[in-house]
Amino acid sequence: MPEYVKARIRKAAALSGRAMSDFMIAAALEAAEELVEAVERWTLNEEQSRVVLQLLTDTRERPKLREFLKISDPEVTRVATHS
């Protein structure tokens, strides 16, 4: 790791009142949580949102839910169709 990177991290850790290792772990955890949340979050367009709302409010529409999930995520579809 270049010295200027170490110096910057050391300074940020000192400013936060943490040891350098604690600061780095906290920063890595924060970045990891943001990435996992971004990847796992579903982003729906307007039409998809309407379909989901209809499916959640009308339990008779289970086949449409399965079809919607097939488009979104094969793993979710597998779980949804076997429950």
CB 69 within 8 A of CB 76: yes
Q: Mean per-residue pLDDT for 62-70?
A: 70
Identify the pLDDT of residue 42: 80
Structure tokens that stand for 29 in this block = 């955890």
Supply angle C-alpha 75, 78, 79, rounded to 5: 90
Per-residue pLDDT, 57: 73
pTM above 0.95, yes or no: no
Other CB atoms within 10 A of residue 74 CB: 10
Q: DSSP class of residue 82?
A: T
| Nearest CA-CA partner of 11 in 2, 20, 3 | 20
